[in-house]
């Protein structure tokens, strides 16, 4: 029997010059990513200067390019030893308009995008563990075909990448306000995502909430492990500085680490051995002890980034930008969407944690569209800002910690995110961040 040649994709059989020509017609960096996985030749091309040229073109005007360029400017001004007095002087304008003019600038954009993709991939893997498989079709006998691993669509990928990128930009802006004390507020405002004078990019507040919760989830266990190594008298002393020491450990320090380190610093922290992680956390543990209420922005160590999302919601004056009424995000039929209520103040059946999924996937997972839309703009009992909901999450403070909240409050925030039914393995042990066994 003659030996069969291994099958090749049609792309593999194209002439090399035609393959290189394809790069000129790709509309986005995400298409470039996908192309590198189609065959060995394109993967090999992705390691050459030809691929870099394609990246230069797409970074000039592709998806998220304006956010990436804003991040590069903010980060260089905030942390990278650039002593320019104005943000506008950090990079010459030709570099910002066209990254093909400067290899160092392009490398920064590539590096920051790689950090974003690192977090997004782990976010998707974590969400797959929570929500499980979904139906992707029917087999020949009419049975459901369930996916066994999660492959996000392009839209889902961009949605989550954007949320991490916006979170990182807000971390850099916070660092600038706290550490550099800028005097030109209008110049900073040009870099604020969602602000009417800032970066005009559509924001999904539900996905922003998902990303914030995820970052606290992966950071809090490191903080709690570090706390176990600290002397009891030092912990007791800190309990007199922080209103609720448990919230400070599980929410506050993760928030501080985000703007102190940036997402690239968080990635380095998460990849470090335990002794290095402990040393980094120890450096920032006493943040509450140095808190000065007169210093604007610095004191929001527990609810800082939740307050940012609250501000985004307040800027949605007509609330038309949050269009969840046409999305299948209800776990039961007959749901009601409150048009003028924040996403985290919707009914318990509303699964905000799934907002990053595509609608078709949500339907396959068994979610439903709302039955009605309530246009009443008056607040209801229990409506709170995201920051206030965060601070009302039940604490696990010891009796001798002078906690302002020794009685257990209603645990509203995680209920609002849909964590009401005890899915197996979901936030159900002390080592996890969002335990419902408070």
Provide the 8-state DSSP code for 144: E
Question: CB–CB of 58/32 below 8 Å?
Answer: yes
Task: Determine the pLDDT at residue 89.
Answer: 64
Q: Give Rg (Cα) of the chain.
A: 24
Distances (CA, A) of 228 to 46, 132, 314, 383: 46, 33, 39, 36
pLDDT value at residue 176: 85
Could you tell me the mean pLDDT of each successive run of 10 residues in the chain, 438 residues long? Answer: 48 66 64 73 72 65 78 82 61 51 75 92 90 57 60 89 94 85 74 77 86 92 93 86 84 91 96 95 85 51 78 69 79 88 87 92 91 82 79 74 59 38 30 32
The residues, any chain, with a CB within 8 Å of residue 116's CB and separated by 6 or more, are 161, 164, 165, 168, 263
pLDDT of residue 356: 93
Longest dimension (CA), the chain: 84
Interatomic CA distance for residues 135 and 194, integer angstroms: 35
What would the two tokens of residue 264 be? 């690239």
**For 405-424, what is each residue's pLDDT tens digit?**
654 444 333 433 433 332 23
Q: What is the pLDDT of residues 281-300, one digit of tens each?
A: 999 998 877 766 555 444 45
- Token pair 């992707």 is at which residue? 136
> Structure pTM?
0.78
Length of the chain: 438
Strand partners, 330: 350, 368
**Token representation of residue 1:** 């029997």
What's the pLDDT score for residue 3?
45
Question: Rounded to whole angstroms, how far apart are CA atoms 74 and 170?
Answer: 10
Predicted local distance difference test score (pLDDT) of residue 379? 78
**Both structure tokens of 265:** 């610093």
Q: Are 344 and 386 contacting, i.e. CB atoms less than 8 angstroms apart?
A: yes
Q: Are 419 and 344 in contact (CB under 8 A)?
A: no
Give the per-residue pLDDT at 99: 52
pLDDT of residue 275: 95
Q: Is 107 helix (H, G, I), strand (E, B) or coil?
A: helix
**Sign of CA pseudo-dihedral 399, 404, 408, 414:** negative
pLDDT of residue 295: 53
C-alpha distance from residue 124 to each of 17, 161, 177, 202, 255 (Å): 36, 11, 32, 21, 21
Q: Are 277 and 226 in contact (CB under 8 A)?
A: yes
């Amino acid at each position: 029997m003659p030996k069969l040649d291994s099958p090749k994709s049609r792309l593999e059989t194209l002439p090399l010059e035609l393959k290189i020509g394809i790069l000129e017609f790709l509309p986005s960096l995400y298409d470039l990513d996908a192309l590198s996985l189609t065959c060995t030749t394109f993967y090999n091309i992705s390691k050459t200067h030809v691929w870099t040229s394609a990246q230069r073109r797409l970074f000039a005007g592709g998806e998220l390019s304006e956010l990436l360029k804003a991040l590069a400017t903010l980060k260089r001004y905030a942390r990278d030893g650039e002593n320019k007095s104005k943000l506008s002087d950090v990079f010459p304008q030709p570099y910002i308009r066209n990254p093909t003019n400067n290899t160092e600038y392009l490398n920064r954009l590539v590096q920051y995008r790689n950090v974003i993709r690192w977090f997004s991939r782990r976010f998707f893997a974590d969400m797959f563990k929570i929500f499980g498989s979904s139906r992707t079709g029917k087999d020949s006998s009419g049975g459901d075909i369930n996916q066994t691993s999660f492959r996000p669509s392009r839209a889902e990928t961009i949605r989550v990448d954007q949320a991490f990128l916006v979170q990182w930009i807000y971390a850099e802006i916070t660092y600038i306000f706290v550490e550099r004390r800028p005097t030109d507020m209008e110049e900073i405002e040009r870099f604020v995502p969602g602000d009417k004078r800032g970066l005009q990019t559509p924001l999904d507040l539900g996905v922003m909430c998902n990303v914030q919760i995820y970052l606290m989830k992966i950071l809090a266990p490191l903080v709690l492990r570090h706390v176990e190594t600290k002397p009891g008298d030092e912990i007791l002393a800190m309990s007199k500085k922080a209103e609720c020491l448990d919230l400070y450990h599980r929410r506050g320090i993760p928030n501080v680490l985000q703007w102190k380190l940036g997402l690239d610093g968080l990635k380095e922290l998460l990849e470090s051995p335990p002794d290095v992680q402990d040393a980094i956390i120890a450096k920032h543990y006493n943040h509450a002890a140095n808190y000065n209420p007169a210093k604007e922005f610095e004191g929001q160590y527990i609810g800082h980034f939740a307050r940012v999302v609250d501000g985004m919601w307040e800027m949605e004056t007509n609330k038309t930008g949050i269009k969840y009424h046409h999305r299948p995000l209800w776990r039961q039929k007959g749901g009601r969407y409150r048009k003028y209520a924040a996403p985290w103040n919707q009914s318990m059946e509303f699964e905000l944690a799934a907002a990053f999924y595509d609608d078709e996937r949500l339907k396959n997972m068994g979610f439903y569209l709302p039955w009605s839309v309530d246009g009443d703009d008056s607040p209801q009992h229990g409506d709170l800002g995201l920051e206030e909901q965060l601070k009302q999450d039940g604490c696990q403070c010891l009796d001798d910690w002078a906690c302002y909240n020794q009685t257990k409050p209603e645990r509203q925030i995680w209920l609002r995110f849909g964590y009401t039914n005890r899915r197996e393995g979901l936030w159900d042990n002390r080592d996890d961040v969002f335990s419902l066994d408070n």
